[in-house]
Amino acid sequence: MFNSYLENTLQYYPEKCINCLMCTQVCPHGVFTEGKEHVELKSPASCMECGACAGNCPVQAIEVESGVGCAWAMISAALRGKDMDSDACCCGEDDGCCQ
Ligand code: SF4
Ligand code: SF4
């Protein structure tokens, strides 16, 4: 099991994966990539915890706490009608999701 709690809340259980590739299609950051028997994590640190992969995985092979991190910061900022604090950004990339 992969556990990236140091970076974000994304957890992946490859032993459950049936290789449907749904997560590779819905992830906006290309975190998952095609593998031989199951998908592989290509860039787990890029996960912005939007929850799309976990919500679309038919066998619960992915868990992520959406409502925290970068995606949540953007939603909160939009609800407040303010720009997002740069401190709240988790991606730390010039071309990341918060640009
Ligand atoms: S939670 Fe969103 S950004 Fe993170 S791996 Fe899943 S689809 Fe990609
Ligand atoms: S959505 Fe779930 S079952 Fe489908 S490839 Fe991704 S991890 Fe595997």
Nearest-CA residue for ligand 2 atom 3 is: 17
Query: How far does CA 65 lie from the centroid of its chain?
Result: 9
Q: How many CB atoms sit inside 10 A of residue 74's CB? A: 17
Residue 76: predicted pLDDT: 58
Q: For a ligand 2 pocket test, name from 59, 63, 64 the mutation site with the most ligand atoms within 8 angstroms of its C-beta.
A: 59
Atom of ligand 1 lying closest to residue 30 CA? 8
Instruction: Name the token pair of 23.
Output: 């997560």
Atom of ligand 2 minimally distant from the CA of 62: 7
Q: Which residue has the higher pLDDT, 82 or 7?
A: 7
**Share of residues in the chain with pLDDT > 70 (%):** 62
The 3-state DSSP class for residue 2 equals strand
For the segment 23-54, what is each residue's pLDDT rounded down to a tens digit?
999 999 999 999 999 999 999 999 999 999 99
Rounded Cα–Cα distance for residues 64 and 50 (Å): 8
Domains of the chain: 2-83 (3.30.70.20)
Nearest listed ligand to the Cα of residue 63 = 1
Rounded to the nearest angstrom, the gap between the alpha carbon of residue 15 and the centroid of all alpha carbons in its chain is 19
Enumerate the β-bridge partners of residue 2.
12
pLDDT tens-digit series, residues 44-81: 999 999 999 999 999 999 999 986 555 556 655 667 67
The binding-site residues of ligand 2, defined as CB within 6 angstroms of any ligand atom, are 17-23, 38-39, 56-59, 61-62
